[in-house]
Each structure stands twice: as structure tokens, then as C-alpha cells.
Amino acid sequence: MKAIVKQTAGPGLELVDVRMPSMGVNDVLIRVLKTSICGTDVHIDGWDDWARKTIKPPMTIGHEFVGQVVDFGANVHDVRKGEIVSGEGHIVCGHCRNCRAGRRHLCRETVGVGVNRNGAFAEFISIPVTNVWHADPNIPLEILSCFDPLGNATHTALSFDVLGEDVLITGAGPIGCMAAAIVRYAGARHVVVTDLNPYRLEVARKMGATLAINPQEQDLTQVMQDLGMEEGFDVGLEMSGSAHALKGMIDAMCHGGKIALLGILPERVDLDWNKVIFNMITLKGIYGREMYETWYKMTVMIQAGLDISPVITHRIHYTDFKKGFELMKSGKSGKIVMDWAEVE
Ligand SMILES: [Zn+2]
Ligand SMILES: [Zn+2]
């Protein structure tokens, strides 16, 4: 089968023929229909420090996908052939304290699909049945292909109550933009998104941001005044991984404000911790999705009318993957969905 593979320890990816994935008794074999490209895939392609430490080539990359069940192992009973499914990209151990308590997103032994084992940028993928998400076939395939990052956005955006609250989102990448749509849908009053990239700010506006601004051109204090906000933002969602953005966010929060952190920050960030302490700010780290409460929530929000389609800005065939990665690097894209239809 065809797959997009990190062949050797260095920059670049190749489209090559690889062996069909093996399927154990607890696994489901899925024919991949659509995948979407993640920032993580771009890091693996570019071979940065993180990739060098984490990835063991040769490995098929990719973790955001939707597909159709073609086969399953002898222990699998609740999956049908032909069923449309997506997959949770974090494979957990199943026997640690958190796993046993149903808090699987907190497992310390998590293995990443397309990061620590072969991934979804291939014609077929095999994953444990416990990682299969039975998708609603009425939801468009391209939206289902984004359920993994939509899950990150949902997990972060619903970490704190946002009904009637003013929300600041730093970072208008696809996950920040999806979070804007979610908090708006969940009843937030003002949703202000910041980013330096005008293309992404435009996507954030389409996704329902009250205001999407470049903080180098527009001062947040002034923005708050213009919106009639007196005490600062109630909830902050840090999606940029920028230390500067986090500092600005802490300054813009109300006393007792709550911040969820998803963006991956530099190892060391100088913060004025007394602002966190005296202003009684809550900081919560977010990783991945809750299994499977987040998957349930995003499914029902989409069924109830949440529209995230403006975040999908490009659709390509997998044989054009290099174009997709170039687009991602240019910053002039939201989600890029790759189609895995067979080549004639
Ligand atoms: Zn991803
Ligand atoms: Zn575990």
C-alpha cells in the first residue's frame, strides 16, 4: 500500500510502498478515506529538536483521519465492516491508576499514532478497537478527518464554563479558530482572538470571533475598553505556544480568571508569578482529548449545528502532499484535508 513515510533521520517525507499493517486480535483494520495535516506532521517533516528526540524512522506519519472498517480481530465484537470511523490518536496502557479510573487522557504511558508507531497517512491503518470512534455518517468526511484537532479545541474550550463569559484566545491556528467557534457556540459573550498572521485572523473571524486582532497593532487594553469590558477576560485559551502571548494573557485576565494552556511553550518562560498569585488565576495544562467524553461532546455539538467548516481551507489528493506541507509552512492555510481515493 501507499504511505507517507519518514524514511531516515533527517528532514523530508516520502510517498512509498509499504507493507499492509498487521492486525492483532484486538485491532481494527481501516481503509483511510481522508486525513488532515497537523502542525505535528510539519515538525516531523522539518526534523526539529522535538522530532529528532521522538521519532524513530522509518515510520508512517499522520494521526488525523477518517476511514471505513475493512476487517477486525477475533476479540472485536462491536464494529461492523463498512462502518465509518475515526480514531483517537493516543493509545493508552489500560492498566495504570488513571486508565483504570476512566481518566485515560491522564495515562503516563501514552503512545502516539503517527508519532511513536505507524500512522494514518496511508491507504490502511490498524488501531486497537479501544481507539476506534464510531462516527456519525451524516457528518461530512472532511469534518470527521479533523476530529482529533477538533477534540483538542473542544477539550481546551470546555475546560471552564464560558456561558456569558468573555474569552481571550491567543493563537489563531486551526485549533484556536475551532476553539473560537466552540466557545461562541457554548454561549460566551465576547470572543477575542489574537495572532500576528492576517490570514489566520481572517479565518478566526469566519469562525465567529467577536474581534480577531494583531496585538502588535491593537492594544488589548483598548480592545477591552471598546467592548465595554471593565475587569478583564474571564477565561483564556492559550493556543500559540508564545511566551509573550501568555504574559499578555495573564495581564488581561480578571481576578479569578481561568487559563487553559494547549500551545507548547518554550522550556523556560519568565512570568511574573505574583500576578498569578495575587490575581488568583487558575492555570490548567491540556493534552489531547478526554476519552471519550470529548469525542462525544464534539459529535453532538456538530449534530446540533456547530459549524467548523471555514477552518478547512484546502483540499488536496495525498499524492500532492508536498504541496500541502508547503502551504502549512507558509502560514496561509487553516486545515488541509488530503483525500485518499485510489489513483486510477
Ligand atoms: Zn494533530
Ligand atoms: Zn494508563
Q: Domain residues of the chain, as ranges?
A: 2-146+308-339, 153-285
- Looking at residue 286, its pLDDT comes to 98
- Looking at residue 295, its pLDDT comes to 98
Ligand 2 centre to CA of 12 (Å) is 33
**In this structure, which ligand is nearest to the CA of 93?**
2
Ligand 1 centre to CA of 20 (Å) is 23
**In this structure, which ligand is nearest to the CA of 88?**
1
Ligand 2 centre to CA of 109 (Å) is 6
- Looking at residue 127, its pLDDT comes to 98
User: What digits encode the pLDDT tens for the residues 83-120?
Assistant: 999 999 999 999 999 999 999 999 999 999 999 999 99
**In this structure, which ligand is nearest to the CA of 92?**
2
**In this structure, which ligand is nearest to the CA of 42?**
1
Q: Phi and psi (nearest 5°) for 217?
A: -105, -25
User: What digits encode the pLDDT tens for the residues 131-183?
Assistant: 999 999 999 999 999 999 999 999 999 999 999 999 999 999 999 999 999 99
Ligand 2 centre to CA of 100 (Å) is 7
Which residues fall inside 5 Å of ion ligand 1, going by CB?
38, 149
Number of neighbours of residue 87 by Cβ within 10 angstroms: 26
- Looking at residue 343, its pLDDT comes to 80
From the list 211, 248, 212, the residue with the least C-alpha distance to 232 is: 248
Which residues are known catalytic residues? 40, 43
User: What digits encode the pLDDT tens for the residues 4-35?
Assistant: 999 999 999 999 999 999 999 999 999 999 99
Ligand 1 centre to CA of 218 (Å) is 30
Instruction: Give me the percent of the chain exceeding a pLDDT of 90.
Output: 99
Residue 344 has pLDDT above 90, yes or no: no
CATH class of 2-146+308-339: alpha beta
Q: What is the mean pLDDT of the chain?
A: 97
- Looking at residue 58, its pLDDT comes to 98
The CATH number given to 153-285 is: 3.40.50.720
Ligand 1 centre to CA of 147 (Å) is 9
Cell reading at 50: 522535538
